[in-house]
Amino acid sequence: MNTHRTIIISLAAFFLAATLFLTATPAVAHGNLQHVVGTVAKVSADSVTITTNSGKTIDVVLAGDTKISKAGQAMQKTDIQVGDRVVIHAEMEDGKLSAHTIELGAGKKATGH
């Protein structure tokens, strides 16, 4: 009876760990860089505010060496517009996320009426 209980507990722990592993969103990608994926909510000269697909708001600093592109073409900071879909690779610097690369999506997020 004790062996049966141990097997059940072990299986439950295994399935819980597997579920957490498979459903977790990776926070770090490409070394120490973090992914920020979502829609541009606000743009300033030195930062962008992104609303992620889960509704979280994240501010990302635009560094002087931030590489910005769209469909493989180099873009400028001034090309980033509110509503643009983006994928940002950023790293934590002095307590703030600093963009290493920004890939602008092909189209803007659809808005509902």
Residue 23 pLDDT class (50, 70, 90 cuts): very low
The answer as to CATH 2.40.50.320 being correct for domain 34-108 is: yes
Q: pTM here?
A: 0.68
pLDDT (tens digit, 9 = 90+) per residue, 32-86? Answer: 789 999 999 999 999 999 999 899 999 999 998 999 999 989 999 999 999 999 9
Output the pLDDT for position 13.
58
Q: Where are the domains of the chain?
A: 34-108
User: Which residues have CB under 8 Å from 81's CB, separation 6+?
Assistant: 40, 43, 108
Report which secondary-structure segment, H or E, holds 10: helix 2-23
